[in-house]
Structure formats: C-alpha cells, structure tokens
Amino acid sequence: MPSDTVPNCRFCLANDLLADTPLGENHAFYMLGSIDPDLTTSVMIIPRQHSETPFDMTAEEWQQMPEMLALAKSHLSPLKPDGFTIGWNVGAVGGQHVFHTHLHVIARFANEPNAGKGIRFMHRQAPVGRPD
C-alpha cells in the first residue's frame, strides 16, 4: 500500500472502500457526488494523497484546486443553481466525520428553505463560545 494511504480510510482510493465511482479527477484530486440524502445536489473534492485537513495539503494540491472547483461547478450547472456554498469541516468539533481532507461544494437554490443562509447561519443559531 502506498505511503500516502492510511489503512481503512474510506477516501484513500487504494483501500477500495468507496461506495461510488468518482465523477471526475485531475492529478491531485478526485470528485465524488454526495451520498448524503440531504445533500443530493453537492459534490466533494478529495485529495488523492491522504491528509486529514486542508491545512496539511501540499502546494501542488492548492495549485490544482481551481481546476477541480471548475469541474464541480460544471458538474452541478445542469441543476441551474442560484448559488453555491463551499466549505471544509475540519476536526471533530468542526463537523468532520471522515478524517481525510475533503471540500464540500453544495448547489443552492432560491426556493430552498435555507436560501440566503450561509455557513455563518449555524453560528447565529447557537453562538460559538470561547473557552475560558
């Protein structure tokens, strides 16, 4: 197994644990559709090399990210979204459940219940506290 693969990580391709087939790729990333039934109009951009957070990504990966964002937008454009929410969940407290870096690209629509509410919305509902 390559050194950039972590055993049992479901996003490390060499582990062959994906439930679906990548929708697109470049040298540094691949893209999956979301299997979350609440996020059917979204994709995830995932580095081929294992890292836990975007803070661990290489300069080469960052250079190749724009190509993948364009691919994600192109893939979601037939849905005719009115906007997008793009974000990372970093660490368990930040909402990360799979500890292999992945970027969520979510198509948003004017007629959805949370239209106009972005990433900060959840913090407005339950303000983030600072540790004492």
* pLDDT tens sequence across 16-64: 999 889 999 999 999 999 888 888 899 999 999 999 999 999 999 999 9
- Percentage helix, strand, coil, to 5, in the chain? 25, 20, 55
Q: Can you count the helices (H) and strands (E) in the chain?
A: 2, 5
DSSP H or E stretch at residue 121 = helix 121-125
Question: Residue 28: which CATH number?
Answer: 3.30.428.10
Least confident of 22-31, 38-47, 68-77, 113-122: 113-122
How far is the C-alpha of 67 from the C-alpha of 60, rounded, in Å?
12
Q: Is 120 domain-assigned?
A: no
Q: Is 124 domain-assigned?
A: no
Domains: count for the chain: 1
Q: Is 132 domain-assigned?
A: no
Q: Is 32 domain-assigned?
A: yes
Q: Is 4 domain-assigned?
A: no
Alpha-carbon torsion 77, 81, 86, 89, what sign? negative
- Interval 8-18: pLDDT, tens: 999 999 999 99
Q: Is 107 domain-assigned?
A: yes
pTM of the entire predicted model:
0.88
Domain carrying residue 81: 21-112
HSE toward the beta carbon, residue 64, CA cutoff 13 A: 17
